A and B are shown apart, each in its own frame.
Chain A
Amino acid sequence: MDIVLNPYDRKTIEAADYMRRRVGGKLIALSMGPHPKIIPIMNDLFEAEVSGIDEAYILSDKRMAGSDTWATSYTLSKGIVKILSIHREAIEALAKAIEAGEGFDRIEALAADLYRKNLLPNRIYSDKPSVRETIVNMLLEGRISRENAVEILRDEASRIYRDFMMFCGMKTSDGETGNVGPQVAEALSQELGMEIPHVSFVLDFEYIGDRRVIIARRKLINMIQTVETDIPAVLTIHADYSAPPVPLAGRRDYLLNSYRGKNRDSRIFSADDIKADPRYIGLAGSPTVVGPGVDIGRPYARKIVGLSIIAARDIDKIAYGDKVFGPFRRGDLLDSLPEDLKRQMLSRGEAKVFDYDDLAEEIIKALQS
């Protein structure tokens, strides 16, 4: 089977990109599966500038094969924790260098290196001429002390685990379970030791920055429920979602919160890289097992308009050779009778070709029974 981008994911990317354009940060694509097949899909996404995806991570390991949604969600949550920890460690490394009294040259070189790797936002370090008020600049210009800088960076580092959102597709186009959004939220809650909300079937949402909440309208049976959720949260995007225009206010914050740019080399993590418990991944980590498939055909008489031969009226038994056929009721399918007998019946007016009028009659009969 070929691996393709899930059609529901287009809406998900649209929603996630809307969030990114509203608040800045970066949009990370996370996928799980054989990386040789996923990398080209990721590359296509990078090519499509509208997707807004800045970086991609792929969890790829033979041991992850055969995962059901439970094992998938566990694995994804470990992947998310790993990605978050990479970002936290980058900021920590910078804080440590400042704390240890490294020279400004070394500090700036380290910051530039981390920035090039897309691990520091513009508000900490930036090569963009329009951004001057970075933490590193303020330190280098003596406007804040080393202690101040370390304190700010430690706060930034801890915020990594609070300031993120996760967007999931409504369901995959193959398995169509839709389980992964809510299950990742639960798995992540356990990994991070905090309750991470999920909201599924989201039709639209807005981020309210001053209260750090998301207000989302979600489909719930025959109603739309509006909920407010704290972040971080996992949103599962409904196929009917469409992103509103991004308000112009807040462009400055957007820039400060954003990163250098796109990083087109997808990073691949194995089960060991993300410190996944081997008991919880792949087929062996899946509570469900898929049994053998079953065919769903059902036998019946099929009438083909313009081809099938049916009884034109009620017919008593018909002797043909040493066999007896019938009796038949008007409309009975005669396709299985010997060709010669059918011809005889047609010429005697006992049989006819099934036509639109016959079909209409049978439809009306079925509707009125």
Chain B
Amino acid sequence: MASQQAQPMYFLPPTSDLESYRDVWIFIEVLRGRVVSYCLEGIAAARKIASKVGMRVGALIASDYVDDQTAKMLIEHGADYVVALEHPLLADYEPFAYTNALEEVVRERKPWALIFMADELGRDLAPRLAYRLVTGLATDNIDFDVEDFYHGLLKEKFSNILAQIRPDFATRIAKIYTPRHRPQIASLRPGSFKPLPRDPSRRGEVIKHKPSLRGYSGRIRILGYEDIVDRGAELLEAKLIVSLGLGILRDAEGNPRNPLEAVELARRIIDLVRSKLGVSSAMGASRALIHADIKELRDIITHDIQVGQTGKTVSPRVYIAAGISGAIQHRVGILRAGNIVSINIDPRAPIHEIAHYVIIDDLYRALPKLYEALERKIGERLARVG
């Protein structure tokens, strides 16, 4: 390429036979023999991408044995075909066996894009695989598109490549491209896509692949598992979330408050809605509050209930943000909320900009008022119905 010769710089050599890569793959996670359910969201994302480039969706799954029902389920949820990696060493997740197996099948079948879920498994496996394959990895995406991209440094235009859309470190959303390397590897935040409805009429091929796992060193051994109760799991299901931020540490006059009071106020609303309306409700927290590491809040405000870029992406019908300023990292976690209620004494707090309902007041005044109004209105409603 003449343009490249004119450049005085060195560049990472591109993937050879770049054009031979086809299809959009989604890696389906299996933990303790069960498909991780939100991987179906990844199939929906892969479908969106594939439909824009006229390619097919492959569901890549690894285990000791992949049964027919699982493969059928993946196809009915939107995959065109299933690539099943089967080996006894793939029964449990461990990065060496998995990286080796995926490397082998990717080199052989050359997918154009490969999507992982951005959880502890995807974030463990995808980086190692991407490094080994010498390709890019865009982490923690919330959406995808297919676009043309002009590479300023190379002065070269790349047509129809994957735009990997993720929260930006500054104030916005960034698009990451992997123009010269394949597959384009990306991870998708759980909660960003809705799974496609199951369509029992869909049919597709199941390609069984037995990886050789050549050079497998066995330098990591799995000793066992424990269940953990992720209190945050209910955040993903909740229709109402009341989230607390650093603002709970002080009242409007700047006097320190016992943050447990705010927790109690939030809990009263959550319990009211749950018990009187039968609606799933949960408490969330901003990263700032969790990082503040407040002694009184230990075991209450924990990492698993963090909402935002580092934490969970939630999609409740109603999201109440109390004492949260609304940094971009928090806002991207609540973009899919149906209604956002912001409570912040600072009228310029960014959270108000994206809220549907705004309360510019001290949360220690606002939450009790909101509770009373909810109690009154729920009472009226129940009286009408009953």
Q: Cβ of A225 < 8 Å from any Cβ of B?
A: yes
| Interface pair A294/B175, CB less than 8 Å apart | yes
Contact A198 B176 (CB under 8 A): no
Closest A residue to B122 using CB positions = A221
Question: What's the Cα separation between A224 and B124 when bound, in Å?
Answer: 14
Measured CB to CB, the closest approach of chain B to A353, in angstroms, equals 13
Q: Is the beta-carbon distance between B120 and A364 smaller than 8 angstroms?
A: no
Distance in Å from the Cβ of B18 to the closest Cβ of chain A?
12
**Cβ–Cβ < 8 Å partners of A290 in chain B:** 174-177
B302 CB → nearest A CB, Å: 8
- Bound CA span A224–B168, Å: 30
Contact with A along B365-386 (1 / 0, CB 8 A): 0100110111011100100000
Q: Does A293 contact B (CB under 8 A)?
A: yes
* Complex CA distance for A199 and B9, rounded to whole angstroms: 36
Q: A279-B11, A364-B381 are in contact. Are A303 and B357 (CB under 8 A)?
A: yes
* Listed stretches B47-55, B79-87, B136-144, B194-202; interface member: B136-144
- Known interface pairs A218-B120, A227-B223, A356-B370; A289-B176 also in contact (CB < 8 Å): yes
Q: Pick from A198, A306, A368: contact of B277, CB below 8 A.
A: A368
Among the interface residues B92, B123, B138, B355, which one has the most CB atoms of the partner chain A within 10 A?
A: B123
Q: Which residues of the partner chain B approach A73 to less than 8 Å between Cβ atoms? A: 127, 131
Instruction: Judge if A34 is at the interface, Cβ distance under 8 Å.
Output: no
Whether A291 and B149, one on each chain, are in contact in the complex, defined by CB atoms closer than 8 angstroms, is yes
Asked whether A305 and B174 contact (CB < 8 A) given A176-B309, A177-B140, the answer is no
Q: A227-B221, A287-B181 are in contact. Are A187 and B175 (CB under 8 A)?
A: no
Whole-angstrom distance between the Cβ of A198 and the nearest chain B Cβ: 6
Q: With a 10 A CB-CB cut-off, give which of B220, B339, B355 has the most chain A CB atoms.
A: B220
Q: Judging by beta carbons under 8 Å apart, are B226 and A223 in contact?
A: yes
Please, how many angstroms separate the alpha-carbon atoms of A290 and B222 in the complex? 37
Do residues B222 and A225 form an inter-chain contact, with CB atoms below 8 A? Answer: yes
Q: B residues 328-354 with Cβ under 8 Å of A?
A: 329, 331-332, 335, 338-339, 341, 352-354
* Chain A neighbourhood of B223, CB < 8 A: 215, 226-228
Alpha-carbon distance between A71 and B135 when the two chains are bound, in angstroms: 10
Q: Is A318 an interface residue (CB 8 A)?
A: no
- Select one of A215, A279, A291, A295 contacting B177, CB under 8 A: A291
Known contacts: A183-B127, A284-B153, A289-B151. The answer to whether A360 contacts B373 by CB under 8 A is yes
Q: Is A286 an interface residue (CB 8 A)?
A: yes
A217: B residues at CB distance < 8 A:
226
Q: Please, which residues of chain A bring their CB within 8 A of the CB of B102?
A: none
Name, among A73, A285, A293, the residue most crowded by chain B CB atoms within 10 Å (CB to CB).
Answer: A293
Query: Does B252 interact with chain A (Cβ within 8 Å)?
Result: no
Is B217 part of the contact surface with A, judged by Cβ < 8 Å? yes
B121 touches A221 (CB 8 A): yes
Interface status of B157 (Cβ within 8 A of chain A) = no
Q: A171 at the A/B interface (Cβ < 8 Å)? A: yes
Interface size class of A (residues with CB under 8 A): 35 or more
The residue from B96, B165, B226, B374 contacting A364, defined by CB atoms under 8 A apart = B374
CA distance A175 to B224 in the complex (A): 32
B12, B93, B181, B332: the one within 8 Å of A225 (CB): B93
Enumerate B297-345 residues with CB–CB distance to A below 8 Å: 302-303, 309-310, 317-318, 329, 331-332, 335, 338-339, 341
Tell whether, in the assembled complex, residue B31 and residue A220 are in contact, meaning their CB atoms are under 8 Å apart.
Answer: yes
Contact A198 B95 (CB under 8 A): yes
Interchain nearest-CB distance for B175 vs A (Å): 4
Residue A230 at the B interface, CB < 8 A?
yes
Is A366's beta carbon under 8 Å from chain B?
A: yes
Separation in Å of the A274 CB from the closest CB of chain B? 16
1/0 per residue, CB under 8 A from B, across A154-179: the answer is 00000000000000000100111111
Give Cα distance in the complex from A98 to B366, angstroms. Answer: 78
Residues of A within 8 Å of B220, CB to CB, are: 197, 199, 227-230
**Of residues 220 to 240 in B, which have CB atoms within 8 Å of A's CB atoms?**
220-228, 230, 233, 239-240
A306 to B347, CA, bound (A): 13
B36 and A221 within 8 A (CB): yes
User: Judging by beta carbons under 8 Å apart, are B119 and A287 in contact?
Assistant: no
Chain A min CB distance to B124 (Å): 5
Given known A179-B127, A221-B29, A356-B369, contact A289–B226 (CB-CB < 8 A):
no
Nearest chain A residue, comparing its CB with the CB of B135: A287
With A187-B131, A298-B354, A357-B376 in contact, is A220–B173 under 8 Å at CB?
A: no
Q: Which residue of A lies closest to B32 (CB)?
A: A223
Given A68-B136, A226-B224; A182-B127 close (CB under 8 Å): yes
Given A177-B139, A182-B128, A360-B226 contact (CB < 8 Å): no
- Given A70-B137, A225-B222, A367-B273, answer yes or no on A359-B12 (Cβ-Cβ < 8 Å): no
A363 within 8 A of B: yes
A70 near B175: Cβ-Cβ < 8 Å: no
Closest to B13 in A: A279
Highest count of chain B CB atoms <10 Å: which of A183, A185, A201, A225? A225
Please, which residues of chain B bring their CB within 8 A of the CB of A70? Answer: 12, 130-131, 134-137
Cβ A198 vs Cβ B358 within 8 A: no
Task: Known contacts A359-B341, A364-B381; decide if A293 and B12 are in contact (CB<8 Å).
Answer: no
Contact of A182 among B95, B227, B277, B331 (CB under 8 A): B95
Report yes or no: A286 in contact with B224, Cβ–Cβ below 8 A: no
Give the residue among A200, A219, A363 with the most B Cβ atoms within 10 A.
A363
In the complex, are the beta carbons of B136 and A287 less than 8 A apart? yes
Q: Is A75 an interface residue (CB 8 A)?
A: no
Q: Is B106 an interface residue (CB 8 A)?
A: no
Residue of A178, A296, A369 near B172 (CB, 8 A) is A296
| Residue interface bits A1-32, CB-to-B below 8 A is 1, else 0 | 10000010000000000000000000000000
Chain A residues with CB below 8 A from B329, complex form: 176
A221-B29, A221-B120, A356-B372 known; A293-B174 Cβ under 8 A: yes
Residue of B nearest to A177 (CB): B139
Residue contacts A-B, CB under 8 angstroms, 28 given: A70-B12, A176-B329, A178-B139, A179-B123, A183-B127, A183-B128, A186-B131, A197-B95, A199-B220, A220-B93, A220-B120, A222-B227, A222-B228, A240-B303, A288-B138, A293-B168, A295-B172, A303-B357, A304-B358, A305-B358, A305-B360, A306-B361, A359-B370, A359-B373, A360-B370, A363-B318, A363-B341, A367-B318
Extra pairs beyond A195-B96, A218-B120, A224-B227 (12, CB < 8 Å): A195-B217, A195-B219, A217-B226, A222-B233, A227-B220, A284-B10, A289-B153, A289-B177, A290-B176, A291-B163, A293-B175, A302-B358
Residues of A within 8 A of B (CB): 1, 7, 68-71, 73, 171, 174-183, 185-187, 195-201, 215, 217-230, 233, 239-240, 278-280, 283-298, 300-307, 355-357, 359-364, 366-369
Closest 10 CB pairs between A and B?
A287-B136, A288-B136, A360-B373, A356-B373, A179-B127, A291-B175, A293-B172, A182-B127, A177-B139, A174-B169
